[in-house]
Structure 1
């Protein structure tokens, strides 16, 4: 081994070696137990950042762990490269608007952009040493996935689970598309509560509203049935200010007695409550806001204006006419589109939906049948399902997505679905192969595309090549593990459960591993849109190495958010240097080791062997529960303290001076060094795969005859006997640390001699101690060691 470890050279070398030797390839032909991983296909919406490194690396470590438990690991990787996020990226990079180009030309630009970013993403994951089987790679826009997505939609449509209807829909006027409830976020904004008089039989009733621009869309006033103030007005008609038409006054329990004036206007549509009232009370619909965010031209006074401008103008107009009694500034929570951060509207539109509201109990039951790691993340899922108010809108009025495989009959309007053999199909470029049941052969293609979640929710089916000649879904589903961030529990986790239960009748996976975020500062998540990530992962790898980044990423408790500072990578580099130096020391002393087990192992050598097995057992238990950080902490404690600080210091003299300690005694230490270091490298291999491979290949491969450390199995065969050797080892550590503390307090060098070390130890450890006296003397620089038996350990120095 070289004196210094060259990470840049080693990492590229071993990444190439792993690929050339198919170290991580899934074997379809062996009966070994499969561990399958459903990994989030990263969205093509910009460059990856440290937050992606954090969560994806944690999951990758689980893949390595399971492989080293003897499992046949099915570890595919995909790219979510269709839909609105990609469109917005292309618009930003090309400085264009999708609507300003022919559809085909814009889609071509999207395809070029996705290819560029997918290559960039793949190169980054490979640079991080990901143990992915790249032969299993997929993208959500390719023809195979399009076929699966369109087939899945057709199955749901024919079963009535997917349906089309014209109704109020959540709408982003910036992105100009319908969206689903799961794509909403909340934002507090400053606005005004405007007090406006409605007239009932010549009497003024004051309504407070934050949306005065919707006065023209007002279809009803509501009061609480228990509100005595308005009891006599219920059932009467109120005249709308400015517009002078009459609307009914009705009651509903949802009206707050304390908010505003207790009198609420219902307009089509100001918020989701308006929608509830509209449907519950069968109110009429009045169009106010267009899909582009402007008011319809026929809205008096403010037609053609955008919402904010219309609001300002109507407030000014009300004030001029004495119809604004007062207004108050307040902080108001509004729903915004997660993709663009702009407030959403609700408009009437014809859209495709997947029915989810009718089977909420089924989806809640599914949560109980899945193992959630950490367990408290299950409550996020349950809260989401319990509070669902809308079916899942899956149609998007965009361009770069998977087309709906259908047309509409020009004569009767009936949907005409593509045949399975036509898939994948683009209805805008082809025609149905059959006529409508009404006899018409003229059709209008569906121009909307499927929501990208409608495809990525099928990732278990995509991974298992569902509905193809190579279909493996009966073997792979439920998959062993899904990994994802907690922010997409409401989308990717929930939608995948919905789709898997429908299409396979099975849960999509047995376990779900929920990772935390990386924060740029307290409370602020690092994200592509905020551009707050600092250095790119590529730059960090070049400066610090992939293993340094991986070691850092493994430090957090599962599910918790963490801050990132480049300074933290110094700790990673310190660890890598320590591991290299410790391994170098061991290998120097193993040059004449022959691999045979000695006739007798000295107690301290037995202790370190049993101790690493104990550590391995504890780490494996944590990793089975996806606690990468807890497992690493367990291994780190052993490496830094038990192995480096204590064991190597204890046996150092024995290794250097066989003429003093004996050849057999030295060989006992060599046997322990070889086996403990090899096992330690295997434990660390899941965290820092490059440096562990470098050390393994430099020395151990010639004896182990396995082509990679990552093809080895953790040696899970603990044999602690009665545990006395483990207790003895802990007592030796205490003795040595007491001596060190004593010398430190006296300002003595660790190599300064002490005359007598007097010990009291349990009688059961007497034989162990007798065989360890030489090691203790050498390590503590004690001239004499005296001991007597006592149940309580005692250390005295003279």
Structure 2
């Protein structure tokens, strides 16, 4: 008989099973999505394509654990599972690494892009290795995709052509969010507010008819771009000034004072300068009142067209303008403040304030579909349900169409040409993928106005790439039969941090292209926090990598720790919790090792025996309850419930009670107890496998090995166990008695094998139950004699036998 090691060695066993799972044989039999099995219901998981940073942080480890757990459970449940894995490969962070770390200039376009791909592949190799080390097993063989590759790029470009045909894409000039540090336009979803130190300058604007109006501004450097002074029409201080003319200090330009309801009377002085463009409010007022515009900041964040501070960075220009206003007598006062400024916050280490520049950009029209989006999102089931609120709120708040142009190199080319009259000409579908920069247009001149055509030089926003993930994996672009069986995909997995980006854009794009929602269910997990309970950040020094102690603690223990939280909740990650989970796995290993000599060569089918012992009847009731509640919890994606129930049932009932009670019967070769414990342990392994796959595969192969993998088993069947509430209640009495005797031995500093005499005080029912199983209790608890006394309150008294 094979030797069973005393200690569970996670590194050795986990790496062994990871290699087995990656074998061709296991792929074909277990992990392959089997298109030929038309009678089996498909279960398709839309997993996040992580950006290829090279670092697999704990947030990655969390969703990797969730995705793998769901896929394994659904396979055991009988579904034909498709678990893909994509890589979001293109984007600014990679460009910055190549530009500044590898020192490759963007001007050398061909070499630059070549190095971007090489960097990407190197990062993927690192991240993929870490994913595999966590036990993650998607179908790498056929459903691994990279957004820069030809097949995926073709699908992205085709989706843009389809949206253009539907009238949803156009080119136009207008204000855009612009990051001077990264030198590219941004979408609304890529910006957010950060707190910064700043100033608020109170400036007197002379009135043409005499006097002045005082304006408080945080952007004095844009005073020369002022197109109007706005006041609230209900503000008694300024009602008589509406329609009059103000003169811009330093620039001596005349502008009108206009009435605008959105001006806050109690903010600053209650009068605003409307500059083009200082903030979103300027844009709204400019468009509403049809004001002219002038651009005084260039693409690198330097002033231009002022004649005063040209060439200076914004911060430097701000100080210079304030100084000049003071010298000329226009400055009333300057206050130092902390305020929120719009910055480049999404998917970047940038965090720099953005500007609003006027650019010719490609837009996808979103605003026209707001109402439809607000109606359709309700047909997707959210877990937890509260996460749907964040999507609804984002849709409701949308005020701009989606600017998809990015002034970068490493991205999907936008497959269009344009003319000076802002007509777009799409590429031919048969020419995809295409780069308009290197290819002639499909026609010599614009087919609408006859003007010359120019290539769209920009690349697409990275969310254009990743937002077709559900369509791509379900076969929308290439496999209509798979698409008919797999769409909408079964579930989308993602974090709270990308609801307004990946979730929204996938929902919007899929609805636009198919008329349907992309997923049936949306599971939104919370964030893994640092040990201090705050968001992980390198600057705070509280980041934790899943690989830090994986050899010592094991992937299974890490997965148990990550999944032991309610979906949607944020939670801190602590290695102390992983250590506790490893202890539980060691307990499972010990119990399996104990049973190994009895079960390896002596398996008995539970169907062929009839339990008569009260202890056996009780444990079967507990087992049925555990199995049914665990399967229900998996179906709800309440993994933490499965883990808690496993602990309560396996550790506190099976390991601490039932195994102790049946040890003597195992040595007596009791066929009933062998059948029961064999069934229980096998079911425990199957139930725990999705969460802790390595140790369960190892125990299964040693003890059962009926099939090549636990994943080829079915969910435990407990339907043959009749409900017996009486046995369940009697079992609680037995468990209480056992616990009281053990506790008394500890209190009296007696070793567990010490023979004792016991006096039990309890009601008639408890006494009757204990008498029924007295011989088992004596053998289990090393009791020589039990005396029973009627009493309303249960208690035991023990004494060393013979004393």
Please give the TM-score of this superposition, normalised by the length of structure 2. Answer: 0.93
Give the drift of 1:52. 1.1
Secondary structure at 1:309 match in 2 = helix
Q: Distance in 1 between matches of 2:702 and 2:67?
A: 28
- Point out the more displaced range, 639-648 or 229-238: 639-648
Task: Report the alpha carbon displacement of residue 7 of structure 1 after superposing the two structures with TM.
Answer: 2.2
Tell me what 1:673 maps to.
Answer: 677
Give runs of aligned pairs for residues 586-597 of structure 1, distance below 5 A.
Answer: 586-596=595-605, 597=608
CA distance in 2, matches of 1:341, 1:465: 37
Contact 2:42 2:485 in 1 (8 A): no
* Cα shift at 1:163: 1.6
Alpha carbons 1:517, 1:526 under 8 Å: kept:
no
Q: 1:514: Cα distance to partner?
A: 0.9
In the alignment, is residue 511 of structure 1 matched against residue 535 of structure 2?
Answer: no
1:519-565 deviation digits (Å, cap 9, x = unpaired): 235564236x7595656433432333222222221222211222223
Post-superposition shift, 1:682?
1.0
Are the aligned partners of 1:173 and 1:291 in contact in 2 as well (CA < 8 Å)? Answer: yes
2-structure distance, mates of 1:216, 1:500? 44
Paired position in structure 1 for 2:801: none
1:541-580 → structure 2 map (5 Å cutoff): 541-580=550-589
Judge conservation of contact 1:45–1:89 (CA < 8 Å) in 2.
no
Q: For residue 568 of structure 1, report the CA deviation from its aligned partner.
A: 3.2
Please say if 1:434 is aligned against 2:443: yes
Equivalence for 2:238: 230
Spell out, residue by residue over 1:173-223, the C-alpha distance to the aligned partner (whole angstroms, 9 max, x if none): 111111111111211111111000001122021100000000010001111
Name the CA distance, whole Å, in 2 between partners of 1:471 and 1:151. Answer: 19
Matched, 1:110 2:116: yes
Partner in structure 2 of residue 240 of structure 1 = 248
Deviation at 1:585?
Answer: 0.8
Q: Report the counterpart of residue 18 of structure 1 in structure 2.
A: 21
Q: Secondary structure at the match of 1:349?
A: strand
Aligned to 1:198: 205
**Which of 698, 704, 708 is equivalent to 1:700?**
704
The 3 A distance-change label for structure 1 pair 761 and 507 is farther
Q: 1:438 to 1:225 in 2, by over 3 A?
A: closer
After TM superposition, give the deviation of residue 476 of structure 1 in Å.
1.2
Q: 1:79 aligns with which of 84, 87, 102?
A: 87
Deviation at 1:680, TM superposition (A): 0.7
Q: What is the rounded CA distance, in whole Å, between the counterparts of 2:584 and 2:105 in structure 1?
A: 49
Give, in angstroms, the shift of residue 789 of structure 1: 9.1
Residues 260-297 of structure 1: per-residue CA shift (max 9 Å, x gap)? 1111111001110111001111111011111111111x
- Counterparts in 2 of 1:713-752, with a 5 A limit? 713-718=714-719, 719-752=721-754
| Residue 344 of structure 2: aligned partner | 337
Counterparts of 2:786 and 2:576 in 1: how far apart (Å)?
Answer: 45
* Contact map agreement 2:531 2:542 (CA 8 A) in 1: no
Q: How does 1:49-198 map to 2 (within 5 A)?
A: 49-96=57-104, 98=106, 101-134=107-140, 135-198=142-205
Report what 2:622 is aligned to. 611
Q: Give 5+ residue unaligned stretches, structure 2.
A: 799-803
Q: How big is each residue's C-alpha offset from its partner over 1:590-612, in whole Å with a ceiling of 9 and x where there is no partner? A: 24523243343422223223322
2-structure distance, mates of 1:757, 1:677: 34
Give, in angstroms, the shift of residue 787 of structure 1: 5.5
CA distance in 1, matches of 2:488, 2:149: 24
- What is the aligned partner in structure 2 of residue 621 from structure 1? 632
Specify every segment of 5 or more residues in structure 1 that has no aligned partner in the other structure, as ranges: none
Change beyond 3 A, Cα 1:254–1:523: farther
Q: Contact conserved, 2:168 with 2:365, CA < 8 A, in 1?
A: yes
* Matches for 1:408-557 after TM superposition, within 5 Å: 408-409=418-419, 414-436=423-445, 437=447, 443-469=453-479, 472-520=482-530, 522=532, 524-526=534-536, 532=541, 534=543, 536-557=545-566
Can you list the C-alpha shifts for 1:752-789, whole angstroms capped at 9, x where unaligned?
333234364675995x6555222211233333335689
Aligned-pair RMSD on alpha carbons? Answer: 2.2
Deviation string 1:124-158 (CA, Å, 9 cap, x unpaired) is 21221113111211111111111111111111112
Report the Cα distance in structure 2 between the residues aligned to 1:92 and 1:688, rounded to whole angstroms.
42
The residue aligned with 2:410 is 400
Write out per-residue CA displacement over residues 37-92 of structure 1, whole angstroms, 9 at most, x where no aligned residue.
00000111341212211222123211111111111111011100012232233334
Show the counterpart of 1:585: 594
Name the CA shift for 1:306/1:419 in 2 (closer, same or farther; >3 Å).
same
CA distance in 2, matches of 1:604, 1:356: 65
TM-score, scaled to structure 1? 0.94
**Compared with structure 1, are the counterparts of its residues 230 and 531 closer, same or farther at alpha carbon in structure 2 (3 Å cutoff)?**
closer
